[in-house]
Chain A
Amino acid sequence: MATYPKEIQESIARVEATRPARLHTNPPRLSLADQEALLRGFHPDYKAEGKRALKVGPSWGELVPHEVADLLEAYPLIDPATINLSQVDYDVDVLVIGGGGAGTVAAIWAHEAGIPAERILIVTKLRHGDSNSMMAQGGIQAADKPHDSPAIHYLDIMGGGHFTSDPKLVRAMVEDGPMVIQWHEKLGVMYDKEPDGTMVTIHGGGTSRKRMHSAKDYTGMEIMRVLRDEARSRNIPVLEFSPAVELLTDSLGQVAGAVVWNLETEEYQIIRAKATVLATGGWGRLHIQGFPTTNHYGATADGLVLAYRVGAKLRDLDAVQYHPTGAAYPEQLVGLLITEKVRGLSAQPLNREGQLFVHPLEPRDVESAAFIRECTPVEHGGRGLGVVTPTGMVGVWLDTPMVDMIHGQGTFQRALSSIYRMYIRFDIDPTKEPILVYPTLHYQNGGVVMDENGWTGIPGLFAGGEVEGGVHGKNRLMGNSLLDFNVFGRRAGLAAAAWAKQARLGSLTLAHVERFVRELGEAQVPPTRRAPMLLPEYRGEKALARMVDLL
């Protein structure tokens, strides 16, 4: 159905021609200075016109992408005056907002810490498990091999994040890492192992040791579904299709639950909670600077908006992670993730002449910048050596046939079965032909400020997973997001449980929302802007133009 058009076939011939010479060699990695220059020239984060300074709230003055500022500087979806707070629908000890990886882990550990299942509630926008966690392909880092150590992992994270991470958070993550993998092992996660139990581990971009553990290329799906099954075993209640639209506070200045909105019946519900864990994930569906995304349908940065209104600080939101290898062809796959594991298994990036222009495993931001430079026309300062597809999309080659050539026939289908399946549907066999890729919006590097126990600094509010910031600084390395949500989901769940055991609540209020609305008015924010977004708008323009609300 798809295969490649003729003009593109000619470029494939050049890829094949250069292959024997480069099969077992890679260019040297860039020096820190060369990396810096490349980032300045071509990474989208360095475009000043893509961002603006926030003019309201606790992170006033900080630069964030326009798409994010538009949501942080926005009016609430609900009018506080119309919400009846005296009728509480759910009264719990620990409320977890978000049913992805971080939220599920937090709920399990709150239960483990002694909170009865019926005193815990997970609320989630779509179904339990629908999340970016489910889509993570390549792997999870943990320093458990004899020649590796948490200290080396620490160094990799700090350097990969350009020394902007919070050291306390990084330390917590690297020291908890092996324990998380062992916990998964007990829960029944099917990690790739040698017959003697040795973990199969490979490199990811920016790693100095092979510490990427995987479960084929469905690593996130395997971890997520096991965690979900474990939460179900414990009978932890889940309220699906019920996104939080506002946090609740109380008369003592604590966060005390949330207002959720039933997406199907359109009614609101009040949840009172002694402790609240924010685990709402990231922002891919904001399509920052017009990029396609690898992210889940619900990744609309709701948690940032909610936390900001109760006074939580945000950090590193000027740093957007573009995954170097999003699919660029065929059109139906554009933006979808091609795991870094493909490069971890030796596939090289090439321009349309079949030339290898960058080491395959630079940190993600550097690798992305190199791809963008290769594809940017010469008149705009780039090299103009990208492959142009019939829809005008441009990309570079990822030489996927190298995987089997180097690691043996059958490796690709075994280790990368989801990618294989994705392309074979469109009559492209990635074991025989290379695939076209271009950077795609992948991860929210920064987020809500927290300490090493997931506490946001606001009484009663904890955070874990992609919504929080500080762990990865301004650039996350592959395999550290699955680790992040397990480490900080757990820490937030434990801290929330401990908090809930001693907390006393005052009366519920939305006064913080009213305060924020006043601030917006003073800053002359246009009243048309509303947040959280909940779902992105993908309806056709023709249909939208004639849409009226009659019922």
Chain B
Amino acid sequence: MKKENTVTVFLMGKAYRVPAGLTIMKAMEYAGYRLVRGVGCRGGYCGACATVYRLPGDYRLYADLACQTTVQDGMYIAQLPFTPATRAPYRLEELAPQGETLLALYPELARCVACNTCTKACPQKLEVMDAVQQALRGDIAQVAELTFDCVSCGLCTMRCPAEIMHYHVWQLARRLHGAYQAPRSGHLADRVGQIRQGAFHGELDRLMAMGKDELAQAYKARDIEP
């Protein structure tokens, strides 16, 4: 009766029976792997658990995150322990948010053949190739927007025939956008100025001098923004 609830998966080519419904990550652990590489936040944010797999009777190579993907019977699984990708040396304060900045630091962008393999490999389902095209066009804001949800797992980079190192390009584009293109906050600058001038010292001194009961009264009496 237990058999119905298990599936066979092939971890690096070796068969293991594991409970159905587990994620690939938990299936590996169930099988006895103590994970060091290929594991991180376990919640789909850190990109440490890039995994590729094939399914029986299907020629395609699928790519996904081990912590977010449920095992299927007959799955052939390999994890990528690391993505070799070089980050260009730069200091943000020495760069300008110009169209050519991305291409100057990452010239291999120009090698894109628009095959769309990167997009198909993305576990976040981002429009990766569109972002490459926008990077070539020099539209930093578009690149930043299109790649905001990137978890830097490296799957696109490992699949790319043009050898582009996508996530480093995206990181640069987002920082250029955030620092130079997004509007600066006026109220934030005002508040930092007020704090520097000590505008809140008196009020904070008074609160710090209060005993617990008096502070509790002040807390209860505070008005709450609707």
Contact = CB atoms under 8 A, between A and B. Distances in A.
Decide whether A and B assemble into one complex.
yes
Interface of A: 1, 29, 32, 126-127, 129-130, 134-135, 143-147, 149-152, 154-156, 158-159, 163, 167-168, 171, 174-175, 178-179, 181-182, 185-191, 193, 195-199, 203, 208-210, 215-216, 218, 220-222, 225-226, 229-230, 232-234, 241, 263-264, 294, 296-297, 331-332, 336-337, 417-418, 421-422, 425, 535, 538-540, 543-544, 547
A198 B70 contact: no
A29 B125 CA distance: 40
Nearest to B34: A539
Contacts of B42: 296-297
13 contacts: A1-B70, A134-B40, A144-B192, A147-B225, A159-B215, A179-B192, A182-B185, A188-B92, A190-B144, A197-B184, A199-B188, A220-B45, A418-B149
B85 interface: no
B223 A208 contact: yes
Interface size classification for chain B: 35 or more
A273 B139 CA distance: 45
Nearest to A215: B148
Nearest to B223: A208
Contacts of A421: 44, 124-125, 149
B200 A543 contact: no
Contact of A159 (B29, B180, B195, B216): B216
B199 to A, nearest CB: 9
Nearest to A264: B36
Given A146-B187, A417-B149, A543 B31 contact: yes
A540 B178 contact: no
Interface string B78-101: 000000000101111000000000
B19 to A, nearest CB: 9
B200 A190 contact: no
Given A126-B36, A130-B46, A190-B144, 12 more contacts: A134-B41, A134-B46, A147-B225, A156-B219, A188-B179, A190-B178, A196-B186, A208-B223, A226-B178, A234-B91, A422-B68, A544-B32
B36 A535 contact: yes
Contacts of B125: 421
A158 B216 CA distance: 9
B32 A540 contact: yes
B86 to A, nearest CB: 11
A104 to B, nearest CB: 14
Nearest to B40: A130
A276 to B, nearest CB: 24
B41 A130 contact: yes
A185 B184 contact: yes
Contacts of A241: 36-37
B178 A135 contact: no
A324 to B, nearest CB: 17
Contact of B182 (A149, A190, A222): A190
B166 interface: no
Contacts of B177: 188, 190
B48 A126 contact: yes
Contacts of A181: 185, 188
A414 B182 CA distance: 18
B107 interface: no
Given A129-B46, A189-B178, A182 B192 contact: yes
Contacts of B87: 229, 232
Contacts of B188: 144, 178, 181-182, 185, 199
A112 B76 CA distance: 48
Contacts of A543: 30-32
Contact of A163 (B35, B43, B208, B216): B216
Contacts of A195: 183
A539 B175 contact: no
Interface string B167-205: 000011011111110111111111110010000100110
Contacts of A538: 26, 29, 35
B175 A32 contact: no
B222 A152 contact: yes
B149 A199 contact: no
User: Which 5 residue pairs of A and B lie closest in terms of their CB atoms, listed nearest first?
Assistant: A543-B32, A188-B175, A197-B183, A188-B178, A188-B179
B3 interface: no
Contacts of A216: 148-149
A539 B189 CA distance: 51
Contacts of B180: 188
B160 interface: no
Given A151-B200, A182-B189, A336 B43 contact: yes
A208 B225 contact: yes
Interface in B1-53: 21-23, 26, 29-37, 39-46, 48
B90 A171 contact: no
B31 A185 contact: no
B23 A135 contact: no
A292 B34 CA distance: 19
A264 B185 CA distance: 46
Contacts of B32: 539-540, 543-544, 547
